[in-house]
Copies of this chain bind each other. A is one copy, B any other.
Amino acid sequence: MLSIGVDIGGTKIAAGVVDEAGEIIAATTRSTPATDAVLIEAAVADAVAELRSAHDVVGVGVGAAGFVAADRRTVRFSANLAWREHALAEELERLTGLPVVVENDANAAGWAEYRFGAATEARHMLMMTVGTGLGGAVVLDGNLLRGSGGFAGEVAHMTAVPDGQWCGCGLRGCLEQYTAGTALVRAAKRRAATGDPLLGRLVQAAGGDRKAIDGPLITRLAQQGDEGAVELIAEIGTWLGRGVASIAALLDPEVVVVGGGVSAAGELLLAPARAAYAEHLTARGHRALADFVPAQMGNRAGIVGAADLAR
């Protein structure tokens, strides 16, 4: 039984036919016409049509950045795309004639890790997607947590520091301001601006222009052993671990999957995260520590998870 997964990103729509083992057996892409809901839907429908022409599918799953209502049909709000209380599933069903389910993109990716990736052995999974921003997905006893209004799993906006760094969401001290790519780069730039000698090599590698520092550069230097870059990533990891420790007090997951662009740093991120998690976990000594493992599905996670949810 095949289904189609669609991952609607800010710049690219990626779609694929996915089998029951989570393999993508055919794929296609479109660029995202971000400012127009009708054009986005047309592009999705076009990609679906292309894939259906060669494969028999039972439905379409769509992963999209934004808050998706608990019925998995309506996008309530998206920061990047052109939707407000938008009946996305209904529109796509009309255009494609297939049953459609919509899911938040971080949730879709988390589901893929749970079903086919890093957490297939677990019943209770927490996924932390440390990309430019911070995403989260929770699977409890085999069910993806969606909450009463579809807003569950927003780990980014749990408070890490009361009265801390202002967040784009209008609150202060959100976890995303401490453990995400944006936080990593901001810390690097701020510290470089003070002439911190530890960041000397990093500034040099950015061509002498501290404003040119970005996440991949920090990761690359860290992997080469540069002390300043290692410290910057370790700080992100430490906050990740502290955040997970608070979440674990509430959810008690058995595995924590860490994905997203910053997770390319591997153990440079995971080791300090594990240490901070263990240090800040209540009842340690009386309980098993959750495993911290890297995500396995990479870019395919959105397509595969969405497709699987459509089955």
Binding site for B on A (CB under 8 A): 67, 76-77, 122-124, 136, 138, 140-141, 143, 145-174, 178, 186-187, 190-191, 193-196, 242, 245-254, 280, 282-288, 290
Contacts and interface: CB of A to CB of B under 8 A. Distances in A.
B164 A249 contact: no
A160 B162 contact: yes
Chain A interface main SS type:
loop
B280 A171 contact: yes
A74 to B, nearest CB: 12
A72 to B, nearest CB: 14
A56 B147 CA distance: 39
Contacts of A172: 165
A173 B178 CA distance: 13
Contacts of A246: 158-159, 246
Nearest to A170: B194
25 contacts: A67-B287, A138-B250, A140-B140, A146-B252, A147-B251, A148-B252, A149-B252, A151-B248, A152-B251, A152-B252, A154-B252, A157-B249, A157-B283, A161-B162, A161-B163, A162-B162, A163-B164, A164-B164, A165-B165, A166-B186, A169-B194, A170-B191, A171-B280, A195-B284, A250-B251
Contacts of A196: 170, 284-285
Nearest to A172: B165
A302 to B, nearest CB: 21
Contact of A124 (B136, B147, B158): B147
A37 B196 CA distance: 27
Contact of A250 (B154, B186, B242): B154
A154 B282 contact: yes
Contacts of A159: 242, 245-246, 280
